[in-house]
Amino acid sequence: MNNPEPKEWDSHALSQKKYADYKAFNFVDGEGVRNSLYLSGCLFDCEGCFNKAVQNFNYGKPFTPELLNKIIEDLEPDYVQGLTLLGGEPFLNTEVALTVVKKVREVYGDKKDIWSWSGFTYDELQLETEDKLELLSYVDILVDGRFELAKKNLMLQFRGSSNQRIIDVKKSKAAGEVVIWDKLNDGKQTFEQIKKGDLI
C-alpha cells in the first residue's frame, strides 16, 4: 500500500481522463438507486484490491460529452437518488469528476446527492491540492480510507474494511470535525478471513 505525502500526487499529471465503467440504476454503491461512474487510475495499490485492473490510468475508455449527457439523463427519474464516483481513485481524476459533479449541480441542484469513495482519508484531503478540495466540496457523502485486508469485514455497510468511514461531508465542514453519516447500519457479526491453509 502506498501512502502519499500531502500534494504528492498530481491529478492533472496522472489522469488520462478515462473511465473504467458506468453503471446506471444500481443499489450497491451507496444509499438508494444510483448511477455510478468508475474512474480509471489509482496509486494506493491496496493489498486485496477487488478492482486491480482499474489501478491503471490507461484502463477503459476516454470520458466523452456523450457519456456526461447520458449520466445527466439517467439521473432524471425521481426514483434515482444520486450519483456515485468510484474507481480507481476519483480524487486522482479531478478534471473528469469535476466536470460531472458541476453539471449535476447545474441541472439538479441539491435534489440529487453525490457519493464518492476515496483511498484518501477526509483528514488527508484537507491538506491536498485545490482541485481535490474543490471536488470534495461537491460531495455529500465520502467513504474514505485505504482498503486494509487485515481489517476486511463483510458485515460493514458500503465499506470493505473497518478503518474506512462513511462521512457526511457537509456536516463535517460545519462542525469542524468528522461527522459520520447518521444512517450508518453495520451488521453486528464479524467474520474472520479464511486463509488458504485452512481450506481442506
9-34 confidence digits (pLDDT tens): 999 999 999 999 999 999 999 999 99
Percentage of the chain beyond pLDDT 70 is 94
Q: Is the pLDDT of residue 190 over 70?
A: no
- Which has the higher per-residue pLDDT, 48 or 84? 84
**CA atoms of 198 and 100, how far apart (whole Å):** 46
| pLDDT recorded at residue 200 | 47
**CA atoms of 52 and 153, how far apart (whole Å):** 19
| pLDDT recorded at residue 95 | 97
127-183 confidence digits (pLDDT tens): 999 999 999 999 999 999 999 888 998 888 888 788 999 999 999 999 999 999 998
Position 49 confidence tier, pLDDT thresholds 50, 70, 90? confident
Other beta carbons within 10 angstroms of residue 24's beta carbon come to 15
Segment 57-75 mean pLDDT: 98
| pLDDT recorded at residue 96 | 98
- Match 477503459 to its residue by C-alpha cell: 60
> Torsions phi, psi of 188, nearest 5?
-90, -20
100-137 confidence digits (pLDDT tens): 999 999 999 999 999 999 999 999 999 999 999 999 99
- Record the cell numbers describing residue 72, joined without a space: 445527466
- Match 460545519 to its residue by C-alpha cell: 174
Q: Is the pLDDT of residue 192 over 70?
A: no
Secondary structure of the chain in the HEC alphabet?
CCCCCCCCCCHHHHCCCEEEEEEEEECCCCCCEEEEEEECCCCCCCCCCCCHHHHCCCCCEECCHHHHHHHHHHCCCCCEEEEEEEECCHHHCHHHHHHHHHHHHHHHCCCCEEEEEECCCHHHHCCCCHHHHHHHHHCCEEEECCCCHHHECCCCCCCCECCCEEEEHHHHHHHCCCCECCCCCCCCCCCCCCCHHHCC
The domain spans of the chain are 11-198
Is residue 119 within 8 A of residue 146, CB to CB? The reply is yes
| pLDDT recorded at residue 195 | 52
| pLDDT recorded at residue 15 | 97
| pLDDT recorded at residue 188 | 65
